[in-house]
Chain A
Amino acid sequence: AAGVIQSPRHLIKEKRETATLKCYPIPRHDTVYWYQQGPGQDPQFLISFYEKMQSDKGSIPDRFSAQQFSDYHSELNMSSLELGDSALYFCASSASLETQYFGPGTRLLVL
C-alpha cells in the first residue's frame, strides 16, 4: 500500500541557511500534519493543513512556514536555520480526521 513520502530523507545545512522539506500524503488523504522530533524527545506538532488551508498551528517558529498545494502535497519552509532546528521532521497524513499515518521523516542537521 502507498505510504507517506518525504523528501529529502537527510539534509545538512549551515546556520542561517534555508531548507525546504516536502511531503506527499497517502493518495486520497486530504490532511497533512508536520511534527518535529528532537533527539530523545516525543514528536511536537508544528502545523496542519486540510484541503489546502491551514487548520491548526502548534509550536511552529515564526521562521518556519508551510503550505499545502493543489495536489495535496505539502512543503515546510525553514529559514534562518539555528542549531536547535536539528531534528527529525515527520509528516503525517489522514483522511478527514481518521488515523494519522507517518512518513519516514527527514533528518535535518544544522551545522
Chain B
Amino acid sequence: EDKVVQSPLSLVVHEGDTVTLNCSYEVTNFRSLLWYKQEKKAPTFLFMLTSSGIEKKSGRLSSILDKKELFSILNITATQTGDSAIYLCAVWHGGSQGNLIFGKGTKLSVKP
C-alpha cells in the first residue's frame, strides 16, 4: 500500500532554533515529492522535488530528496513565530495523471 510517513508529528521550538522535518515514502511510480505549509486554511506550496541530491532553497527554508533511501527533509533555520504551521509532505505518483498522497503532517509551534 502506498504511504507517506512524516516525523515528528509535533514539534515545539523557540524562535531562532533550526528544525528538520522528515518525510519517508513508499509509493509505486514515484514522480515527485512536494512540501506544503498549512496554516489555517489551504496548503500553500513550498517545494517540488524530483531529482535526488539537489537542494532547493527559499529564504530560511530548504529541502532535499533522497530517492535511494526514499525520504526527504525540510529544514527551517532561524525559526520565527510565523513559521508555526502544519507542514505537509505529499508524493505525486501514478500513471498519466496520478494524484497526491499526503502524510499526516508535522505540527510546528515556534515560541517567542
Contact = CB atoms under 8 A, between A and B. Distances in A.
A100 interface: yes
Contact of A100 (B34, B96, B104): B34
B41 to A, nearest CB: 5
Interface string A26-64: 000001010100000111110010100001101000000
19 contacts: A41-B104, A42-B102, A42-B104, A43-B43, A45-B99, A48-B99, A55-B97, A56-B95, A56-B99, A90-B42, A92-B100, A99-B45, A100-B34, A100-B45, A100-B92, A102-B43, A102-B45, A104-B42, A105-B42
Interface residues of B, number: 23
Contacts, number: 56
B99 A102 contact: no
A12 interface: no
Interface string A73-111: 000000000000000101010000101111111000000
Nearest to A43: B102
B101 interface: yes
Interface residues of A, number: 24
B105 A101 contact: no
Given A43-B43, A45-B99, A102-B43, 8 more contacts: A42-B104, A44-B102, A45-B100, A50-B97, A88-B41, A92-B100, A99-B34, A102-B44
